[in-house]
């Protein structure tokens, strides 16, 4: 039986972000498809290879990044996820020397899934506030 959208979303956050399995990106994000809103509201990432570039910066900057799923709502091939990420600024991947600050980022992701893969992602988070915390 095919994995439902909610199950795929749970697996995405657990495997990619919490377990730091970069190879899971190619397993779950469809080739040539888009993720919008990462890191800026108007950013567009196309396909797993571009997503891996964003992912590597985040994991290098925040190696202990952990995402908790606060809410998941599924409707057919779509799932809405409200999440909270906790992390410590230990790397300079965003262009700022490590501050060792513990940070929290809240956000929401809206995913559309087909054939066991994410084919569209729209993300909302206050990344500007996060960067502001690094500058203090």
* 106 or 2, higher pLDDT: 106
Give the CATH number, domain containing residue 43: 3.10.450.50
pLDDT digits (tens, 9 = 90+) for 32-55: 999 999 988 999 999 999 999 999
pLDDT higher than 50, residue 29: yes
pLDDT higher than 60, residue 2: no
**Number of structural domains the chain divides into:** 1
| Mean pLDDT across 95-106 | 94
Supply the range of the domain harboring residue 27.
5-135
Q: What is the pLDDT of residue 1?
A: 40
pTM: 0.93
Q: What is the pLDDT of residue 103?
A: 96
pLDDT digits (tens, 9 = 90+) for 62-80: 999 999 999 999 999 999 9
Residue 3's pLDDT band (cuts 50, 70, 90):
confident
SS (H, E, C) the chain: CCCCHHHHHHHHHHHHHHCCCCHHHHHHEEEEEEEECCCCCCCEEEHHHHHHHHHHHHHHHCCCCEEEEEEEEEECCEEEEEEEEEEECCCCCCCCCCCCCEEEEEEEEEEEEECCEEEEEEEEECHHHHHHHHHC
Q: What is the pLDDT of residue 46?
A: 97
């Amino acid at each position: 039986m095919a994995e439902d959208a909610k199950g795929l979303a749970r697996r995405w956050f657990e495997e990619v972000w919490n377990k730091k399995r970069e190879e899971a990106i190619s397993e779950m994000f469809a080739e040539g498809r888009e993720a919008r809103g990462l890191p800026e509201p108007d950013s567009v990432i196309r396909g797993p290879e571009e997503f891996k570039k964003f992912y590597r910066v985040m994991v290098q900057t925040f190696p202990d990044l952990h995402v908790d799923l606060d809410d998941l709502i599924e409707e057919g091939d779509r799932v809405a996820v409200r999440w909270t990420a906790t992390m410590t600024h230990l790397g300079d991947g965003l262009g700022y020397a490590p501050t060792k600050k513990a940070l929290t980022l809240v956000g929401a992701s809206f995913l559309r899934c087909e054939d066991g893969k994410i084919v569209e992602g729209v993300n909302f988070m206050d990344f500007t506030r996060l960067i502001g915390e690094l500058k203090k």
